Amino acid sequence: MISGRIKVLSEEFNGWSADISLTGVGEDGSRYDDIPIDHVEIEQSGVTVSYDDGCARLVADESVHEVSFSGRSHSDEAADLVHGDVGATQLEILAELQTPEENKA
């Protein structure tokens, strides 16, 4: 299970998008494996969710300043918690704001 919250700090924008991905992280901090996201749930209007190559993409309109999400990753097999098969996972969110053009004709 994954969950998170995205809050836009800028007050003037025409909408925004955020890409959410999961990456396995080794004890030394090195990234070693992408973990596909199966599903992301948003209980708010004005936000659409799409999936591409294991990542989830949230696209919001200008009325949305904050969104909470939850979801789940894809699992190929059951993890063995007793023998340490589960390592750290890093949640990465890359966001982009579309700001209004300053000099519209």
Residue of 49, 53, 52, 54 lying closest to 35 (CA atoms): 54
- Residue 20 vs residues 45, 53, 73, 92, 102: alpha-carbon distances, Å: 19, 11, 11, 6, 29
Q: Is the pLDDT confidence value at 61 over 80?
A: yes
pLDDT at 39: 92
* Residue 105, domain member (yes or no): no
Structural domain range at position 51: 2-75+86-97
* Residue 92, domain member (yes or no): yes
Give the alpha-carbon dihedral of 58, 40, 7, 53, to 10 degrees.
Answer: -50
Alpha carbons 63 and 14: distance in angstroms, whole number = 9
Q: Report yes or no on whether pTM surpasses 0.75.
A: no
* Residue 47, domain member (yes or no): yes
* Residue 58, domain member (yes or no): yes
pLDDT in tens, 44-53: 899 999 999 9
Give the alpha-carbon dihedral of 39, 43, 19, 11, to 10 degrees.
Answer: 180
* Residue 40, domain member (yes or no): yes
* Residue 80, domain member (yes or no): no
Domains in the chain, number: 1
